[in-house]
Amino acid sequence: MSLEWNIGYIPYKRALISPEKTAIIFEDVPVTYRQLNEGINKAAHMLEKKGIKKGDRLGIVMLNCIEFIEIYFACAKLGAILVPLNCRLVGPELEYQLNDSGVRLLAFHDTFLGSIDLIRGKLKVEQDKFIFLPSGNKLPPGFQPPSCPDWADDYHKLVDGQPVSEPYMENPVESDDPLAIIYTSGTTGNPKGAIVSHLQTYFKNFQVGIYTDSQPGDVMIAQMPLFHSGGLFIVVTPSLCSGVIIVMRKGFDPNEFAEDIQRYKGTIIFALTTMWRLILDTGKLDQIDVRSVRSVLGGGERTPPNLFEELAKRNLHMQQGFGQTENSAMMLLPKEDIKRKMGSIGKPGFFTDIWISDVNGKRLPPGEIGEICAKGPTVMSGYWSKPEETADTIVKGVLHTGDLGYTDEEGYFYIVDRAKDMYRSGGENVYPAEIEKVLMTHPQISMAAIIGVPDNKWGETGKAFIVPFPNESITEKEIVEFLKDKVAKYKYPTKFKFMKELPLTGTMKVKKSELKALYSEE
């Protein structure tokens, strides 16, 4: 039987236990647990007056801010379902996700006013349920920030004067109820909305807490976007549940990130591989004191050994992990195994069972490549309004991740590639990630991505997209020479395109679907 317990109890309980303790430092301004919970309750009462009830979907197109967190936990207390949307999406993409999830109310920052105005007539959002918030972004001299349009309501005016008491629910929120719909990056086809329940989120809190050994004295530095499962379910919710102080900014700035580590004596640091590259490029890590740091979490994409080494030189020992929108924070490499198991994504978390499976569902022994499968209380409930896709992905309670990997004799997991990225050249399976990993060790290559493209001789061949470091250049011949004796010749890409940057998702992963759409026929 489901429990009458929801994620909204986190700020409520923390406000009771330690009301004057700092919960979040947003843009250098501290917010206590009491202040946070009162803001959440004001938002909840405002949403109730707007007619929002249990089961309704509420969309957010916002930068990181305290109001984002207020709306998130207000939804949790009311039983409404949060739909946070990637800020990088353009009109048609926003339109699809908002209508696919059936959002009744939409909150947005002034930064996205133009995009929302273009599509609002095509949305299912009700006319009186557009809510406008100023972002406070700095503008060039002479420019004024947009004001609230006549077709929307100002958030701060709506919450001003609302009660700070806990909202009363006639229809209580239960632990199995949906908490949020998080859309996948959409690397192939339309993105799917992963349904995350209150109970699954609590188990993620426990899992992340075990990974980091979080204590109320800890300070988390992590500029992850809140629309991403990493920001919402690996950073914010577990940190507040454990009483950890979160240092948060509107967006990621590598210089500021490094300075915040020293300024706030960060103890737990979380950044994706691309973010760490940018932080290292600033040189700031050589200018600051990082002795407070005891845990560094990272990953999110293929991470070259030299990045681990560069961080280790500064006494920052990054633990690589693995997760998906459908099941975030699945694995983490123990700190003591970083050098010994370089390249591994670690072992399954405490509340996740993971194994390697063949196409028939049989568990494979160490060393054999197959699909990474998982089950446990952190796995999503399914995809919103997509029963067929859900049935294909979750089979008899088992999540089929679509990622290919293997284990070693000690049970450590290694990712090979996405199943959909694999291509066959001359009858041989080729996993682009394997070659990309090698290319990323080249001192002149900043980023590399490979896709399979049609080839008259081999059926398919690899096409490599190469981004050199600034002021560096490299030739096709030099790349092929570099691959010699590192990978088999049939795996070499035969086509190359040199670029200034690669298209990235909001989670800093390469949009291979875009590369395939634009360049497969070249």
What confidence score (pLDDT) does residue 30 get? 98
Whether the pLDDT of residue 520 is over 90: the answer is no
What confidence score (pLDDT) does residue 486 get? 83
SS3 of 81-117: EEEECCCCCCHHHHHHHHHHHCEEEEEEEHHHHHHHH
Distances (CA, A) of 104 to 72, 90, 96, 381: 15, 20, 14, 22
Q: Which residues, in sequence order, are bridge partners of residue 398?
A: 395
Lowest mean pLDDT among 121-130, 256-265, 276-285, 500-509: 500-509
Lowest mean pLDDT among 34-38, 298-302, 402-406, 476-480: 298-302
Integer Cα distance of 506 and 510 in angstroms: 10
Lowest mean pLDDT among 21-35, 231-245, 289-303, 339-353: 289-303
Please give the average per-residue pLDDT across 391-412, as a whole number: 94
Integer Cα distance of 248 and 210 in angstroms: 22
CB-based contact 377:393 (threshold 8 Å): no
Lowest mean pLDDT among 162-171, 406-415, 497-506: 497-506
What confidence score (pLDDT) does residue 188 get? 47
Q: What is the DSSP string of 414-480?
A: EEEEEGGG-EEETTEEE-HHHHHHHHTTSTTEEEEEEEEEEETTTEEEEEEEEEEPTT----HHHHH
Whether the pLDDT of residue 509 is over 90: the answer is no
Nearest residue to 167 via CA among 69, 61, 80, 55:
80
What confidence score (pLDDT) does residue 187 get? 46
Lowest mean pLDDT among 15-19, 76-80, 107-111, 402-406: 402-406
Helix H segments across 81-236? 91-101, 113-119, 155-159, 198-212, 229
Whether the pLDDT of residue 327 is over 80: the answer is yes
Whether the pLDDT of residue 418 is over 80: the answer is no
Whether the pLDDT of residue 280 is over 50: the answer is yes
CB-based contact 177:6 (threshold 8 Å): yes
What confidence score (pLDDT) does residue 232 get? 97
Distances (CA, A) of 17 to 30, 68, 216, 218, 460: 18, 23, 11, 17, 61
CB-based contact 143:164 (threshold 8 Å): no
Whether the pLDDT of residue 325 is over 60: the answer is yes
Please give the average per-residue pLDDT across 186-205, as a whole number: 86
Integer Cα distance of 447 and 428 in angstroms: 25
How many residues make up the chain in this entry? 522
Integer Cα distance of 174 and 367 in angstroms: 42
First to last CA, the chain: 57
Nearest residue to 423 via CA among 404, 396, 401:
404
What confidence score (pLDDT) does residue 289 get? 97
pLDDT confidence bin for 488, thresholds 50/70/90: confident
Distances (CA, A) of 307 to 25, 280, 435: 29, 9, 17
By DSSP bridging, strand 103-109 and strand 153-154 are: unpaired
Q: Which token pair is 31?
A: 């917010």
Please give the average per-residue pLDDT across 355-382, as a whole number: 95
Q: What is the DSSP string of 34-57?
A: HHHHHHHHHHHHHHHHTT--TT-E
Question: What pLDDT, in 10s, does the model give residues 78-114?
Answer: 999 999 998 878 788 899 999 999 999 999 999 999 9
CB-based contact 497:467 (threshold 8 Å): no
pLDDT confidence bin for 300, thresholds 50/70/90: low
Whether the pLDDT of residue 8 is over 80: the answer is yes
Whether the pLDDT of residue 70 is over 80: the answer is yes
Helix H segments across 314-431? 387-393
Whether the pLDDT of residue 521 is over 80: the answer is no
Whether the pLDDT of residue 189 is over 60: the answer is no
Please classify residue 160 by burial: count the beta carbons closer than 10 Å to its beta carbon, then call 0-12 exposed, 13-18 middle and 19+ buried: exposed
Integer Cα distance of 459 and 503 in angstroms: 26
pLDDT cut 70: percent of the chain above it: 97
Whether the pLDDT of residue 452 is over 70: the answer is yes
Domains of the chain: 9-197 (3.40.50.980), 432-519 (3.30.300.30)
Q: Which token pair is 37?
A: 């919970």
Mean pLDDT of the chain: 92
pLDDT cut 90: percent of the chain above it: 75
